[in-house]
Amino acid sequence: MNNILGYQNENVVVTGAASGMGAGCVQRLLEVGANVYALDINDVDAPVSKSIKVNIMDKESITAAVAELPGEIFSLFNCAGVPCPPAPTYNTMMINFVGMRELTRQLLPRMKKNSSIASVSSTAGMAWRSNRGNVDTFLANDSFESAAAWLQTEEGSAISADAYAFSKQSMIVYMFNNAAELARRHIRINTICPSPTESAFTEQMAEIGLGRDITDFFTPPNGLYATGSDMGDALVAINSNLFRFVSGCLIPVDWGYTAEITAGQRDNLLNISL
Ligand SMILES: NC(=O)c1ccc[n+]([C@@H]2O[C@H](COP(=O)([O-])OP(=O)(O)OC[C@H]3O[C@@H](n4cnc5c(N)ncnc54)[C@H](O)[C@@H]3O)[C@@H](O)[C@H]2O)c1
C-alpha cells in the first residue's frame, strides 16, 4: 500500500470516535493502515486496534484511558464534543475544551517527532478575536482543576450565554498559544472550523428546536451540509505527512462560507474572522 499519508502501522488516537466526524476519521484511518485507538463515552463499532471508554470531562477517566494507550503516538484527533444547548454550560466547557486540553497534555510526552494534533472547533469559535479578553482570563486557569473551579465562579457562569462558542474559541486560542512551543518539539497542531455537519450533534440540536431553520444560516454558499466523512477526511489529510509544514492554523472546512463572509458578501452573524 502507498504510504504517502504516513499512517501505515502508526498509532493514532481519535476522540469522539463512535459517531460523526470522529467515526469518519476512524474509517479513513483504518483504510490507510493506521493502528486506531478509539476513545468515546459510547461504544465504537469499527474494527479498531483498541476501543476505550472515556468520559472526557472526568480527569480520572482521561488518565485511565491514557494508561491503555501505546507509548508512541503519531497523530491525535480531538473530535469529541457536545452542543450547548442542550448540554449544560459546565459540561460543554469540560468536554469541548478542558478535557480535550487535559488529554492532549497527557499525550504530548508520547507524541513522536513529526507527529500531529488536529482538533475540531467550529464556525462559532472563529469569533475568538472579539472575545479574546474573556478567553485569556479563562485560559489563565492552566490546570484541569483550576479551569473546572473557575467555571463554577460567578465570572465563569457568565459565559453561559454562549458557552459552546466560548469552548470552541478557547480551543483556537489554546492552539495559537502552543503552536510555537510544539514546533520546537517537532509536533504540529491545527484546528478545523467545520460548517454544519449532519451527525448526532445536529440531531440533538434539532430536537430542541435548533434545526435547519437555524443551521441554514451557516451553510456554505452552495447550501450543502457536510457529512462526518467530509470532516473526517479533512482531519486525516491535515494530520498526514502531506501537511508536514502546516501548523498553528485555524482551517475553515466550510466550502467557502468563511470566504463569503470575509469578502463582505454575506452577513457576519457570528462576528467571525480568520
Ligand atoms: N455537527 C456540526 O454541525 C458541527 C459543526 C461544527 C463543529 N462541530 C464539532 O464537531 C465535533 C464532532 O461532532 P459531530 O458532529 O461528529 O457530533 P457527534 O455527536 O456525532 O460526535 C461527537 C462524539 O463525541 C462523543 N462524546 C460526547 N461527550 C463525550 C464525553 N463526555 N466523553 C467522550 N466522548 C464524548 C459522542 O459520544 C460522539 O461520539 C464536536 O466537537 C462538535 O462540537 C460539529
Among 133, 52, 57, 150, which Cα is nearest to 96's?
57
pLDDT tens digits for 209-238? 889 999 999 999 999 999 999 999 999 999
Q: Is 164 helix (H, G, I), strand (E, B) or coil?
A: helix
| Kind of pairing between the strands at 111-120 and 187-194 | parallel
| For ligand 1, atom 20: residue with the closest CA | 20
Rounded CA separation 217/194 (Å): 14
Residue-wise pLDDT tens digits, 148-199: 999 999 988 888 779 999 999 999 999 999 999 999 999 999 999 999 999 9
Give, for ligand 1, the residue of 37, 126, 164, 199 to mutate: max count of ligand atoms closer than 8 Å to Cβ. 199
CA 221 to chain centre: 24
Cα 151 to Cα 128: distance, rounded to the nearest angstrom: 18
In CATH, the number for domain 11-195+225-254 is 3.40.50.720
Would you call 250 helix, strand, or coil by DSSP? strand
Expressed in angstroms, the distance from the first to the final Cα of the chain is 37
Q: Which atom of ligand 1 is nearest to the CA of 225?
A: 3
CB within 8 Å of 38: residues ≥ 6 apart: 14, 17, 18, 22, 26, 44, 46, 48, 50, 51, 52
| pLDDT at residue 217, rounded to an integer | 95
- CA atoms of 139 and 17, how far apart (whole Å): 26
Determine if the peptide bond prior to 86 is cis (ω within 30°): yes
The reported pLDDT for the residue numbered 160 is: 72
Nearest CA to ligand 1 atom 10: 120
How many CA atoms does the CB half-sphere of 225 hold within 13 Å?
A: 16
Banded model confidence at residue 1, pLDDT cuts 50, 70, 90: low
Domain range summary for the chain, segments of one domain joined by +: 11-195+225-254
Cα(2) to centroid of ligand 1, in Å?
A: 31
Three cell numbers, residue 260: 463569503
CB 39 within 8 A of CB 56: yes
Residue of the CA atom closest to atom 38 of ligand 1 = 16
How far, in Å, CA of 217 to CA of 235, rounded? 24
Q: Is the bond leading into 85 cis (omega within 30 degrees of zero)?
A: yes
Which is the closest atom of ligand 1 to the Cα of 83? 43
Tens digits of residue pLDDT in 81-129: 999 999 999 999 999 999 999 999 999 999 999 999 999 999 999 999 9
For residue 1, report the distance from its CA to the centre of ligand 1, in Å: 31
Ligand 1 atom with the shortest distance to the CA of 24: 16
Shortest-distance atom of ligand 1 to CA 94:
31
Nearest-CA residue for ligand 1 atom 6 is 122
| pLDDT averaged over every residue in the chain | 96
Residue 139 alpha carbon to ligand 1 centre in Å: 22
* pLDDT value of position 228: 98
Ligand 1 pocket, residues with Cβ under 6 angstroms? 16, 18-22, 40-42, 54-57, 79-82, 95-96, 120, 122, 194, 196-197, 199-202, 228
